[in-house]
Structure 1
């Protein structure tokens, strides 16, 4: 069941690597009277921020606690390996996890990949953050596996990356408290799922006009009514239009198909008799 806020506003938390800009722009177009506030947090604080009511919804990395949060998976990211541009891996178009057996692979404390077994050789100490790990990679100490969005976020001119097809991948999801599905959350769900304004289930939905008259089937505009138009021109009901203007009675023929002279207005036949000279006896 949804609930309506008295003074509506919307707080959206997001973790590193997520770029909510395109969805925020749609929100501002559809709900210009409802301010949307972005809250950037470290990856490990995404779910906690929602549970502490510091945000209405969040773009977070899975997994999350499904007993406390509702979550809609949005997309899965490609995993890449980051290394110096002069590293031997730069010669490859794509890297396999087994290629890293002799490499020092950093595993930062905020790692977003769910490893069953870490590849390569472990570092002496785990970096505290992905940003710290990137600095060590730039120093030529080792390499780092991350979602592609994080490799781009921490881009450096002296580093590059390649896809690792057989590595675990990270999923981004829209999450919110399990019992707090508000109208505004429904609106944001519609935006991230690509619904149009008319198909949205939130408060931005455009309803059809209630006083719009319904047109009956077949009642096309400009269609002539029965008995009107050319067929009725030149005579009253039963006159038959042009056919009734030539001396035919009731629109039919008289005895053998000849016009009935002198009857029902005379017509052309009646006019010819009137003008013919009488024979002298």
Structure 2
């Protein structure tokens, strides 16, 4: 049974379906505000988490999957909420900033202040979309101060196994028809013999094998 913790702001349901459909491994998953800490505490085998994270050391494998769009949360009644899907940093530079990095618990508290029509909060847009309530509008932030955030799969090197590798492959786009093991490369002689065999309807010889007379 593979246990996966996925950080708030991610939606891995499609990967779960593919994993269960194309493998025989069991899967248990849960949403988490700190998926990496769940991995450290051994509450899961694999963490879908947000980078950068200074806690991640050489003990762990890291597979980056995709970058997140920077965002800003603004009050629903503000002028920014009327301009469309995105704002430039210079548009909100004079606003009171309630959040510009920290824990997800801190962001939740900051969004309550934004909902009261006070200031803005900077965070990855997918995370803002999940956490924002009715009085808050998440927008794309262009040319902002935020460090690029990336969603990645992280697991202990000592825990590496087929179930983890299969899930990683699915998350990276591997299909049911593809193999986790690359086919061995053939040298020039083997390629020539295989070509000749196809022309003559014969099976190609394996390395070290001789054709019988």
Q: Shorter-chain-normalised TM-score: which range?
A: 0.7 to 0.9
Corresponding residue for residue 157 of structure 2: 178
Alignment of 1:94-243 (within 5 A): 94-107=86-99, 109-110=102-103, 128-167=105-144, 168=146, 169-201=148-180, 217=198
Q: Which runs of 5+ in 2 are unaligned?
A: 182-196, 202-213
**Which structure's residues are more often strand, by fraction?**
2
**What is the Cα deviation at residue 71 of structure 1?**
0.6
State the structure with bigger RCO (CA 8 A, min sep 6), 1 or 2.
2
CA distance in 1 between counterparts of 2:198 and 2:161 reads 40
Q: Which runs of 5+ in 1 are unaligned?
A: 1-8, 112-127, 203-215, 221-281
| The 10-residue stretch of structure 1 (14-23 or 83-92) with the greater mean CA deviation from structure 2 | 83-92
CA distance in 2 between counterparts of 1:62 and 1:161 reads 21
8 A Cα contact 1:190 1:200, kept in partner: no
The alignment of Structure 1 onto Structure 2 pairs a total of residues equal to 181
8 A Cα contact 1:187 1:200, kept in partner: no
CA distance in 1 between counterparts of 2:71 and 2:132 reads 13
**What is the Cα deviation at residue 170 of structure 1?**
1.4
Q: Which has the larger radius of gyration?
A: 1
**Which structure's residues are more often helix, by fraction?**
2
8 A Cα contact 1:82 1:144, kept in partner: yes
CA distance in 2 between counterparts of 1:138 and 1:79 reads 19
Aligned Cα RMSD in Å?
2.3
- Aligned mate of 1:58, from 18, 41, 47: 47
**What is the Cα deviation at residue 165 of structure 1?**
1.6
Secondary structure, aligned partner of 1:129: helix
**What is the Cα deviation at residue 179 of structure 1?**
2.5
8 A Cα contact 2:76 2:115, kept in partner: no
**What is the Cα deviation at residue 162 of structure 1?**
2.3
